[in-house]
């Protein structure tokens, strides 16, 4: 189960994710981002209520980061301990901007 809510304003997008970003739900986010990122120069992902991420979710984050590197910036905020450990284990801490 993943809930995605987003606000897009003047080239800035804020995504708030709630639930699990896994093999089943990651394609929802991927599809959403595919259309939404056009013209976006600042992407913020709020993980305050994201409980879980698997490699399928990491794949979507990596893809979003690659897109945003070309057109602006991306940051992830409010990452919980469990997800932070996954970012550390996978070296994603070096790729992502986490605040």
Partner 1 sequence: MEPIRRELTIDATEGNLAAAQEFVESVISGTDCPMKTQMMISLAVEEIFINIASYAYAPKTGEATITAELQDHSSMLVLTFRDRGIPYDPVAKEDPNLHVPVEEREIGGLGIYMTKKIMDAVLYEYRDGQNVLTLKKNLV
98 binds partner 1 (CB under 8 A): no
Quote the least distance from Cβ 31 to partner 1, whole Å. Answer: 16
Name the phi and psi angles at 91, rounded to 5: 75, 5
CA 47 to CA 51: how far, in whole Å?
8
Q: Which is nearer to partner 1, 38 or 89 (CB)?
A: 89
**Burial of 37 by CB count in 10 Å (0-12 exposed, 13-18 middle, 19+ buried)?**
buried
Q: Which is nearer to partner 1, 1 or 38 (CB)?
A: 1
Q: Which is nearer to partner 1, 31 or 69 (CB)?
A: 69
């Amino acid at each position: 189960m993943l809930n995605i809510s987003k606000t897009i304003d003047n080239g800035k997008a804020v995504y708030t994710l709630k639930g699990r970003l896994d093999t089943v739900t990651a394609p929802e986010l991927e599809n959403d981002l595919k259309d939404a990122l056009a013209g976006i120069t600042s992407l913020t992902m709020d993980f305050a209520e994201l409980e879980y991420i698997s490699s399928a979710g990491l794949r979507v984050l990596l893809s979003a980061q690659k897109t945003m590197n070309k057109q602006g910036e991306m940051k992830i905020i409010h990452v919980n301990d469990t997800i932070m450990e996954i970012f550390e284990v996978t070296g994603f801490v070096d790729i992502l901007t986490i605040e």
